[in-house]
Chains A and B, each alone.
Chain A
Amino acid sequence: MSALLEVLAVGKRFGGIEALSGVSFTIARGEIYGLIGPNGAGKTTFFNLLTGVYRADSGSFRFDGKPLNVKAPHQVAAAGIARTFQNIRLFANMSALENVMVGRHVRTRAGIFGAILRSAATRAEEAAIHARAWALLDYVGLAARGNEVAHNLSYGDQRRLEIARALATEPKLLALDEPVAGMNATETATLRTLLERIQGDGTTILLIEHDMKLVMGLCDRILVLDYGRKIAEGTPALVRSDAAVIEAYLGGELA
């Protein structure tokens, strides 16, 4: 398997606090890669560096064989990385369909003049956006809810809608920030099936998650962060039995 994302000694400081110090790892194409660690370990900081919200103090990213040079958050999606948010950030007052249609923005071209003149090319593109958005809603199991306003959807449906919207950008890497947080067992199981299907269809997934059952069951490899440092990396079985990981999660005395 070739590398999709290479993280090379990435570091970030906030004043005196070293949120991430020289973290390196590689995500291979087609795998589900888990990122775990206790609260404050640097997971979200890493996520924000990757998605261009912050800029790294040191180190670099290589994505899809090229250096990932992100100067603004909107360039990340164009590069092929789509994300969801820990606290769902849908366009709450737009319909589910419109939410997904917005996701097509980065892969479509119609500009202001195309819109005003409504040229044949614009109309064709608009029809394609429409069709693709419906197909994606169907893919995540929300076809029946397409015309509903996003904030009227159930919590689990909102999570899936966020994933559909992210998939609309045609990502090579789908980065999910705690996708099952607050979900009940049934919803978690449905989402797990969906993630497996997305992986099966060829999209690489980066998963930040606290639900250990899900992470251990779903991920091909896992990286464990603690106090901004990488303390373990490997298959779920390996990570589970790692002394440093047990210490980080359960405390020194018990290890």
Chain B
Amino acid sequence: MADKLKTYPALRWAGLALIACALIALPFVLATAGTTWVRVTNLAILFALLALGLNIVVGFAGLLDLGYIAFYGVGAYAYALLASPQFNLHLPFWIILPIGALAACVFGVLLGAPTLKLRGDYLAIVTLGFGEIVRIFFNNLSQPVNITNGPQGISRIDPMRIGDFSFSQSEVILGLNFSGPIKYYYLLLLVLLVAIVVNLRLENSRIGRAWQAIREDEVAAQAMGINTTRIKLLAFAMGASFGGVAGGMFAAMQGFISPESFVLVESVMVLSMVVLGGMGNIWGVIVGALLLSFVPELLRHTVDPLQRSLFGRLIVEPEVVRMLLFGLALMLMMLFRPAGLWPSKVRKRELTDE
């Protein structure tokens, strides 16, 4: 199919235009089913962003990071602290988001620098610990000086605003009702698009090749003059900045954050998106993120009513069904598609041969 698209560029553009139209119309269609679904979609895009960031670390460079959500948390707290009544700072988002990305990036380097000599399981365990440390810091940095407000979290975070245009308020433009979530949807879509372009360009670059080489054979990569520590750090820093941006947007959208949002399960979730979708393949990773974000919501809305209509009462909680299906899906994946739903060509060769 890819070859056909290359020989008929018009077909390709028509397809892209169609997808673009669908994406532009999507929130209004979803809004007819309830604003909740627009919110769900927004969170799904946010997770796609996170998954793309983690894909750089895990998919491209082959470094298993189990504490990735910490960078998301750093970005979110950076936004919350700089745009809320907590310190009475109200900086505009276009200043804070880069600060959040930079802060996450610094944390990425802080974690990476001492640990990148470790490999495989050992690196995974250290990153896992790092994720927990960051969360515990958020939880406890309310004394002696109150910085993060501890477990209560930070509320009344400013929404994103450009001049008088606020992303959180509904308004009618050209006869269409743009609710807050719909506005955020477009913003998120734009950021996701940028993230995709950045990912694609990195993959096919000198740095991308170096990541791939390190993943394949670190000793040979060094012999080729690749400074493996530095290149791995770059992967950590890049991945972390994606997390930082996503975290900032999360804080602005929700208006409230607490350490609860940055627990280990979230790291595992994002990693599952990458693995399920197909490590190293940008489109696969996005599909993974959307699937793992939407399916639980669909279950939430079907499992409960279905049981009530069948048995007259709730027997199995939606959350239990969700975990059951999740486990089942992962097992089936391991058996039938070990490289993910939509793996990258190289990764597929790595994971299915021999």
Residues of A within 8 A of B (CB): 51, 72-78, 82-83, 85, 89-94, 98, 101-106, 108, 110-112, 114-116, 118, 122, 125-126, 129, 149, 151, 165, 168-169
A54 to chain B: closest CB distance in Å? Answer: 13
Partner of A115 from B206, B217, B221, B350 at Cβ < 8 Å: B206
- Which residues of B does A touch, CB under 8 Å? 198, 201-202, 205-210, 212-213, 216-217, 219-228, 234, 238, 346, 349-350, 353
Q: How many A-B residue pairs have CB under 8 A?
A: 103
Given contacts A94-B212, A112-B238, is CB(A165)–CB(B205) below 8 Å?
no
CB within 8 A of B206: which of A85, A90, A94, A126?
Answer: A126
Which residues of the other chain, B, contact A104 by a CB distance below 8 angstroms? 206
Instruction: Give B239 Cβ to nearest chain A Cβ, in Å.
Output: 12
A64 to chain B, nearest CB (A): 16
Q: Is the CB of A82 within 8 A of B201?
A: no
- Asked if A110 contacts B206 (CB within 8 A), the reply is yes
The answer, among B208, B209, B228, B238, for a CB contact under 8 Å with A74, is: B228
Whether B206 and A129, one on each chain, are in contact in the complex, defined by CB atoms closer than 8 angstroms, is: yes
Chain A minimum-CB-distance residue to B228: A74
A103 touches B224 (CB 8 A): yes
Q: Which of A92, A106, A110, A114 is close to B224, meaning CB atoms less than 8 Å apart?
A: A106
Interface centre among B224, B226, B228 (most CB of A within 10 A): B224
- B-side contacts of A118, CB under 8 Å: 201
| Beta-carbon contact of B207 and A94 below 8 Å | no
Q: Which residues of chain B are within 8 angstroms of A149 by Cβ–Cβ distance?
A: 349
Contact B346 A82 (CB under 8 A): no
A149 nearest in chain B by CB position = B349
B235 to chain A, nearest CB (A): 10
Contact, CB under 8 Å: B216 / A91: yes
Given contacts A91-B213, A91-B217, A116-B201, A74 and B206 within 8 Å (CB-CB): no
By a CB distance below 8 angstroms, the chain A residues around B353 are 93, 151
Whether A126 contacts B216 by the Cβ 8 Å rule is no
Contact B224 A165 (CB under 8 A): yes
Instruction: Determine whether the beta carbon of B224 is less than 8 Å from that of A101.
Output: no
A85, A105, A112, A115: the one contacting B226 at CB < 8 Å is A105
Supply 7 further A-B pairs (C-beta < 8 A) apart from A82-B224, A105-B209, A126-B205.
Answer: A74-B224, A90-B217, A93-B353, A110-B206, A112-B234, A115-B208, A118-B201
Q: Which residues of A contact B217 (CB under 8 A)?
A: 89-92
Q: Is the CB of B202 within 8 A of A112?
A: yes
A106 to B228, CA, bound (A): 12
Residue contact A82 to B209, C-beta cutoff 8 Å: no
Given contacts A105-B209, A115-B206, A116-B202, contact A93 B349 (CB under 8 A): yes
Contact between chains at A73 and B223 (CB < 8 Å): yes
Give 3 nearest A-B pairs by CB, closest first. A106-B225, A77-B225, A115-B205
Give which listed residue, B202, B216, B227, contacts A93 with CB less than 8 A: B216
CB pair B227–A72 under 8 Å, yes or no, is: yes
Q: List, sorted by A's number, 22 A–B pairs whose CB atoms are closer than 8 Å.
A: A51-B223, A73-B219, A74-B224, A74-B225, A74-B227, A83-B223, A85-B220, A89-B217, A89-B219, A89-B223, A90-B217, A91-B213, A91-B216, A91-B221, A102-B212, A102-B226, A110-B206, A114-B205, A115-B207, A126-B205, A126-B206, A129-B206
